[in-house]
Amino acid sequence: MSSVQFVNSKAEVLRKYQALAMNINAAAGLMEVMKSNLGPKGTLKMLVGGAGQIKLTKDGAVLLSEMQIQHPTAAMIARSATAQDDIIGDGTTSNVLLIGALMKQAERLLAEGIHPRVITEGFELARKEALSFLDTFKYQQIDKAVLINVARTSLNSKLTPDVANQIIEIVVDAVQIVQVPEKPIDLFMVEIMHMQHKMGAETELIRGLVLDHGARHPDMPKFVKKCYILNLNVSLEYEKTEVHSGFFYNTADDREKLARSERKLTDDKCQQIIDFKRKVCEKNGYGFAVINQKGIDPVCLEMFAKEGIVGIRRAKKRNMERIAKACGGNSVNAVEDLTESDLGYCEVLREYTLGEEKYTFIEGVQNPTSCTILIRGPNEHTIAQIKDAIRDGLRAVKNAVEDKCVIPGAGAFEIATSVHLQKFKDSVAGKAKLGVQAFAESLLVIPKALAENCGYDVQETLIQVTDEFIKNNIPVGVSVNEQGFIAPIANGIFDNYCSKRSWLNIAPTLAQQLLLVDEIMRAGKQAGGAPQ
């Protein structure tokens, strides 16, 4: 019966060592591609799209999501690494490196005749021990200085230092603005806008909002000081009926009467807003702006312009939430019974024109819980690079606030854990200790990559750093400014606790699963059994 072929004759089947070799080569190959991006001295990759679009980046998440990866194992590793980025915002490159290093260490043990199951048991013991060691390694004094250092560590690994240093405080201030006590931090309340204008280092934080459109009438004011804002969700235009209907008239006068009544309905709403504006503004001379989620027709715009009201129509729904949080007041769904408490307030409302684009700046708001980061850059790929870095920086600061602790960076955790696991393996019985030792050596891929990307001698740097840690038993990492070691806590180099925890869960688990694959079949059917 052994000669009977149970699989489709056209199927591709890889068995035992062929399957393992395929998985190991895929993991090691992806690791070699990503290794040069790690750390502040990492190199850039240029991604060129089908239509010639260019993107320069060293952000692991961007690379893995934009690259076309054909190999199924490599694609699986890329998906697991980007899953961590989606949840936490960091650790993508580290995931790929650790999976690749674990698979390479496993290859050496497999060549010596060790069964994959024994290796994975050792990996699992080492993973659990590393997670428990992580809880003893964290630094728990969280203040603004530490948050700034967390942002600096995140941004310096993705941007040039002159641009990153400009953005660090912007990112920390933005998170602190949207932070509401005893509620989770909602980063959607930080609007990220961009203008293709000036230099990347001129990116700024607006303690208010920037809308990507301006007033819709040429006679409306372009600059208003001390301005009330009516946050409206009411249609101020002639609308068709929601159901298809037809009207029959006896005379032309009847048609005119109906048209006038329809126009009067919209005009009355507009007049109610104007009367309300006169009532609240006559005593203090404040300006008045209407920001409407729905439309404002030309007749109403003309009425607003004559009254000196700024009218902005078709604002995004998300911006309407942000306006209420930034400026105060309520989002109003009817113009009847308006009160002064429904109004938001800002010190300055101004319109800025750049080429054909108009932007409205709402600044000087009181007690904002929403803000805008305005990215400036000379070209599209610079703006895209800064935008990706800011998103990661915001999430790094948010994670530090929510974890209430951080982990010393610069490879300090990996070196300390590796030394700890080398001691731990002596307490492990049987061949599983070989898996623990392989795991300990694999963790050193991070400090090795940091040293290599700085142009240092890898082995010499690693020995110096490890010896210093064993001698003084304090966290030490790889210095990127001169060959040797650095104290990450004293120099403000910190990683996120949740990022390291997720990294220690995702990478070893996937490596174990790949090592236990002993047959790969490409049988011409889609997953789930449906025919192609």
Catalytic residues: 59, 92-93, 392
Which tokens belong to 38? 């790690």
Question: Could you please report the per-residue DSSP string of 254-289?
Answer: HHHHHHHHHHHHHHHHHHHHHHHHHHHHTTT--EEE
Residue 195 and residue 374: Cα distance in Å, rounded?
A: 7
Residue 236 and residue 302: Cα distance in Å, rounded?
A: 12
Under 8 Å between Cβ of 156 and 164: yes
Single-letter residue type at 44 = L
Single-letter residue type at 162 = D
Residue with tokens 């591609």: 33
Under 8 Å between Cβ of 461 and 483: yes
Q: Inter-axis angle of helices 432-443 and 116-137, to 10 degrees? A: 50
Rg (CA), the chain: 30
Single-letter residue type at 150 = V
Residue 126 and residue 345: Cα distance in Å, rounded?
A: 57
Which tokens belong to 520? 């790969």
Give the CA count within 13 Å in the CB-facing half-sphere of 269: 24
Reading phi first (left if > 0) and then psi (alpha if -120 to 50, else beta), residue 373 is in: beta
Residue 263 and residue 305: Cα distance in Å, rounded?
A: 18
Residue 363: name the closest of 381, 384, 347 by CA. Answer: 347
Q: Inter-axis angle of helices 445-453 and 92-111, to 10 degrees? A: 120
Sign of the CA dihedral 71, 76, 80, 82?
positive
Q: Inter-axis angle of helices 16-35 and 497-515, to 10 degrees? A: 150
- Coil, strand or helix at 523: coil
Q: Which ranges of 444-487 would DSSP assign to H, the alpha helix?
A: 445-453, 458-472
